[in-house]
Amino acid sequence: MSAWLFDLGNTRLKCAPLHADGRIGDAIALPHREEDIAAAMALHLPARIDVAYLASVAQQGLRVAVLDALAARCGRISIARTQPRFDELRIAYADPRKLGVDRFLALLGARARVRGAALVCGVGTALTIDLVDADGRHLGGRIAPSPTLMREALHARAPQLPETGGAYEDFASDTEDALVSGCDGAGVALIEHSLRVATDRLGQAPPVLLHGGGSDALARHLPNATEVATLVLEGLARWAWVETAA
């Protein structure tokens, strides 16, 4: 039986085959727009898939476009949703629907990798930070604009401030460098502060796992963090494995 995993974010669709032993194959990332997502998927995916597992935080129109493209080639589509308890993980939110499924799956992926406490940081449109303890209790998290979104927001309000470009400097001597240094630095500072608070709460420093399209820029300034590009897909694989076993 052929099975594939799909992580639909706000800027990319990440896909990977799911092997029979629960491992994921090589992941691919497709930039997407509603009008061309079907063509991109046709170019990179098998003509037929038995089952597709989808996690989506994208807006409704894009989600429907992906579902339509999957329906044309899949025997079954299973959509992941945040659950209050799953496997060993227990979510802190009183209303689990308010915790994005990407954060939920990243926590599942972290549990599968670390088998202990972890600080899980996603860097996409938003910067999300979640803490899970060694027993699988989610202790809550934070949400902030990602560095990319900060740059976009500044450019939208003040077009003279460039949306991209620049090199990180502790104290920059031109605008482009100052922008990337300030925005990336804000993300790094929030993660470092969260790690200090987490260390105080847990009694020891948890490993830091970074994922998301913007994680590479922050990983350079967080030498003790581990970048896991496929963390959400790994969590989705765990979700699919448990769902199938049930």
The active-site residue, picked from 102, 130, 133, 184, is 102
* pLDDT on residue 11: 82
Q: How far apart are CA 33 and CA 18, in angstroms?
A: 25
**Distance between CA atoms of 240 and 2, rounded to whole angstroms?**
13
- State pTM to two decimals: 0.94
The per-residue pLDDT for 33 is 72
Q: Kindly give the parts of the chain with pLDDT less than 50.
A: none
- Taking the C-alpha atoms of residue 48 and residue 207, their distance in angstroms, rounded to an integer, is 39
- Helix intervals (H) in the chain: 37-44, 60-71, 101-114, 147-157, 175-202, 215-219, 231-245
Joined together, the tokens standing for residue 47 give: 């003509």
Q: What percent of the chain has pLDDT over 70?
A: 99
Mapped onto helix, strand or coil, the DSSP state of residue 34 is coil
Residues in the chain: 246
Task: Assess whether 130 carries a catalytic annotation.
Answer: no
